[in-house]
């Protein structure tokens, strides 16, 4: 995260870091712990990823 903060502001770096961490936790749950991958879960997972990409894009 400290490397990312050289190029982007702290708030944006933190939001991207936590968003991708949350998305990673969901994917680990789906692939390794056989949690359901319903359409609602996948929709909101895409929203988290799109938000992180959007924050980087407007930087």
CB-count exposure of residue 30 (10 Å: 0-12, 13-18, 19+): middle
Rounded Cα distance, 2 and 4, in Å: 5
> Could you report the average pLDDT of every consecutive run of 10 residues in the chain (59 residues)?
82 90 95 96 95 87
What is residue 35's predicted lDDT score, i.e. its pLDDT?
96
What is residue 42's predicted lDDT score, i.e. its pLDDT?
96
Rounded Cα distance, 10 and 28, in Å: 27
For the whole model, what pTM was predicted?
0.79
DSSP state of 4: G
């Amino acid at each position: 995260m400290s490397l990312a903060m050289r190029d982007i502001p702290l708030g944006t770096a933190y939001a991207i870091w936590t968003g991708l961490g949350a998305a990673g936790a969901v994917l680990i749950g789906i692939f390794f712990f056989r949690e359901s991958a319903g359409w609602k879960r996948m929709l909101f997972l895409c929203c988290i990823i799109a938000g992180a990409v959007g924050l980087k894009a407007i930087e």
